[in-house]
Every structure is written in C-alpha cells, then in structure tokens.
Amino acid sequence: MQKTYIYILCLMVISLQSCGEKSKKVHKSKETTVTEIIKKPNILFLLADDLGYGELGSYGQKILETPVLDSLAREGMRFTNFYAGSAVCSPSRAVLMTGKKSSTNTIRANKGYYPDGSSRRVSLQKEDLTLAEMLGDNGYQTAFIGKWHLGLPDDVSSWAHGRGFQYAVQEQWSHKYDQSNFDGPMEYINGMQDSINFDYTKWDSHDDYRTNLALDYLDKQYNKDKPLFLFMSFRAPHGHEKVIGNNTLYMDKGWPAAERLHAAKINLLDKQVGRLLKKLDAMGQLENTLVIFTSDNGPHHEGEGHDHEFFNSNGALKGYKRDLYEGGIRVPMIAYWKGKINSNSTNNLVAGFQDFMPTLAEIANIETPKQSNGISILPVLLNTTKKVNRKYLNWETSEKGFRQSIRINHLKGVRYGVNSTIELYDMNTDISETKNIAAKYPELIQKIDSIFKNDRTENQYYPYGGKTKLKK
C-alpha cells in the first residue's frame, strides 16, 4: 500500500511538471508540497468603475450608503495609501492585469495615436502576460464578467477570453475612437461564441444583471476541486450608465436627478457584492477566498449633470478622474481573507495596482513574472514581520496632455506637460496638495526629473507629450 501511494504521488509531481512546460508563457509554481497546492485560495477580485476614494462609509463618506463594503472593511484590512494604475480606465486596468506600471505599459491612455493619423483603442500585446494567464497556467479556473477595456473591438483574441479567462462575459461597444459596429447593450460570451442582450428594464442595474451571470457561473460551471479566480468588473458608478431599472432609490432626498442616480448605482453595487459573498458562503468557499475590492481610478465628473463634489466623493483629495493629483489615482482598497488577514485593520503602506500580480503570485505559490514592476504586499496582508521595501511609485499618461507623477515615501511629485516645472507635496501634512514645497528640496526635484525622463519606455501609440514624437 505504501509503495502504491508513493508511486501515485510521483505521477502527480511528474504531471504537474509537464503541465508547466506546455507554454513559454507559463510561470511555474515554486517547489512545494501537494498539500500546499491544495490550499491555494480562491480569489474574488471586485473592481468598481470610477469610484472615488471618499465614496464608501469606511473611507469617510457621510451620505452614500455602502453597508456591505463597510462591513467587509471591518472584517478585513483597509488601505489608506493605495493607488490605481493610472487616472483613467484602460491604462489603469492594464497595470492591474499585467503588473507593469503605466510608464512602461503597452496601454497608457484610453486612446492611442496610429500612423494613419487616427486615434483609437490600443490592446495589450501578446507578450503581455495577464493575471488570468498566470493563474490559469498554474491550476486556477479563471472567469471574468464585465468591462474589459483592454482589447480591440475587431480583434476577439484581445478580449478577456483570449487573454486567459477560461470563461468570460464581456461588454463591447462601438466607440468614438473605433469604427467597429457593436451593440452597446450586448454582452459577449467567450469571445463571440454567443451573445446576450441586456435589457435594463428587467434589472435593478447593469451590475445586478452581471452578478446574476456570476451566480449562474458558480452554480453551473464552478469546479470545487480547483481554486477559482473570479474577476468582477462592475459598471458602477461610471457615467456611461445613464439609466437604471431601479429608479426608486432616494426619491425622498430632493437631490438632482443625476446625483440620485449616482447614489443609487453605488448602493446597488454594494448590494451585488453582498450577493456574491453570500453565495460563496453558502457554497462553503468564503473561508478559503481572498476578497479584494478597489476602483480603477478616481471619481468621474461626467454624466448628465453629475458633480463629484456633491457627495464629496474624494474627501480632501485634489482632482478627479484623469488627474494625476491624488484625487485621480488614490483609491479605496479592501482585502478580506478569513483567518489570514486581521479584522478591522488599517494599513498606510504606499502600494498600487502593479503589486497585485506579485502578491497573487506569492499567494498561489508562483514565481513572479519578470515583467512586473510591483512588489508582493502579502507580508502586510498577513501581518508578518517581513519588511516590504519600495523605492517609489510613478505614473505617466497622455490623457488630456502629457502628465507624470511620483510617490516617494511621504512626498508626492507632479508634472503636467513635457519638461515642465515639477511640483512637490507632503502627503503627511498636505493631502490636498495645496502647498508646493519643491523649492525646499532641489536635490529631490533633480532626482524626480531623472526618474520621469528615464524610468519609462518609448511607446509608438503614445508619443511623448501627446501628439508629438518622442524627443531624446
């Protein structure tokens, strides 16, 4: 009997090794025991769209109601110095999905400039390994539902299903930057294998509908013998969703219609998070699930009449979506993992989207892909004594002109325009970025200038300074 057990164990190890050699893109698991492989947690990643730093009760919001997410923060860890990958949708999600910061990423704005003079979407390149590919190649079942924003409308291989998600329900629509004809309310399953139409009158909101799709996936396609990576890319509270099915919330408040809609979308988003957590709990999987909630950038100032200042969506932060001031890039981040992450904990580590890839790699016992510029924050999540060292976080975008920013410890540098003056702010005493102290730190300003010029790569789709060619 003992010989038989050893023989079977050897076969399992050989099988794992052979699976790791199927593709050059596969990142092999570290040397580990079979027991450790079985203990890989599920990962539920929840991404809001344009949710401001101050729009959750757990982050100081006094009016908007988010009881589920506030409870999740109490039961998990709340980060106060956490940053999105960029200040707008596509480049921020590209950083999240690849672990590559915005100054070296393939995607750096919502649109890129092409040789024919047009401006339209840019997709991740095939050599850009995604989180889904990394986890899927190492035993995870991977699923994506919602807004992708990292591909070309007419190139299905660049959609979520073609980038490592074994199951994907993805929205796709025509955009002013693209000529492809896609119906906005349509959701596409596994590329274009199938499609379903979203009728807003039958659901409280788009996120309500998408959560139903996720619950259906968990009921019918979930394999309890494999760890799960489920990425929920919500729509709320983006201004694109101008009408929702449940238009009865907050009727008694006397708010402008645009603000009532905004509040309702956030409240309904919170409700969907609760439905997902309840489902995982009923399945007996919540205890073995790492839950991450964050937003792709700061609050929007879009839609028909919405003003991000109405609900004080950013608290004391300056700026909003598309800004590289704090309001555009500092976002809420909540992590929950029962028995692993201390409840009701707050952390002020300076961290960001590029850290998700190395963190999830370590959690899943995978070697961190070399492309990632991030660091693993797992020691912080688990409250270990291991130190997490970071030199700086930096950003670059050509959205509304060329912009750069950097966070070095408690100091924040910002530059709007090519080779323009660098501003400097102290995040310990001036979170609103009102007092430029650059004159007090001439050596640091020189260092920041060098980083801005050198810690970046050329990108044919995003010429330096916007529409002008890169000057060396």
CATH code for the domain in which residue 337 is found: 3.40.720.10
- Residue 390: partners with Cβ closer than 8 Å, 6 or more residues away: 350, 351, 375
**Are 91 and 217 in a shared domain?**
yes
**Are 416 and 304 in a shared domain?**
no
Q: How far is it, in rounded angstroms, from Cα 237 to Cα 247?
A: 14
Retrieve residue 31's tokens.
């040397």
Measure CA of the first residue to CA of the last residue in the chain; give whole Å.
69
Residue 116's pLDDT is 87
**Are 224 and 320 in a shared domain?**
yes
Tell me the one-letter amino acid at 41.
P
Retrieve residue 245's tokens.
């099915």
Q: Where are the beta strands (DSSP E) in 75-219?
A: 77-79, 82-83, 112-113, 119-120, 141-146, 167-171, 186-189, 194-197
- The DSSP call for residue 367 is P
**Are 407 and 291 in a shared domain?**
no
pLDDT of 322 above 70: yes
**Are 404 and 444 in a shared domain?**
yes
DSSP symbols for 26-84: --PBPS--HHHHHTPPEEEEEEESS--TTSSGGGT-SSS--HHHHHHHHHSEEESSEE-
Q: Which residue has the tokens 């999740």?
A: 72
Q: What is the mean pLDDT of residues 170-179?
A: 61
* Torsional sign, CA 163, 164, 165, 166: positive
Residue 31's pLDDT is 47
Q: Which residue has the tokens 């060396």?
A: 472
Q: Is residue 460 part of a domain?
A: no
Instruction: Answer with the one of 381, 401, 431 that is the final residue of a domain.
Output: 381
pLDDT tier at 24 (50, 70, 90 boundaries)? very low
- The DSSP call for residue 467 is S
**Are 230 and 365 in a shared domain?**
yes
Contact 165, 140 (CB under 8 A): no
Q: Is residue 472 part of a domain?
A: no
Tell me the one-letter amino acid at 431.
I
Between residues 343 and 182, which one has the greater pLDDT? 343
pLDDT of 433 above 90: yes
Omega before 442 cis (within 30°)? no
Per residue in 392-401, pLDDT tens? 999 999 888 8
Q: How far is it, in rounded angstroms, from Cα 32 to Cα 30?
A: 6
Domain holding 291, by residue range, is 32-381
pLDDT of 149 above 50: yes
Retrieve residue 384's tokens.
């270990």
In angstroms and rounded to an integer, the radius of gyration of the C-alpha atoms of the chain is 22
Q: Is residue 12 part of a domain?
A: no
Count how many domains the chain has.
Answer: 2
pLDDT tier at 241 (50, 70, 90 boundaries)? confident
**Are 220 and 88 in a shared domain?**
yes
pLDDT of 163 above 70: yes
Per residue in 261-294, pLDDT tens? 999 999 999 999 999 999 999 999 999 999 999 9
CATH code, domain with 449? 3.30.1120.10
Per residue in 69-112, pLDDT tens? 999 999 999 999 999 999 999 999 999 999 999 999 999 999 99
- Is residue 74 classed exposed, middle or buried when 0-12, 13-18 and 19+ CB atoms within 10 A define those classes? middle
Q: Is residue 26 part of a domain?
A: no
Q: Is residue 162 part of a domain?
A: yes
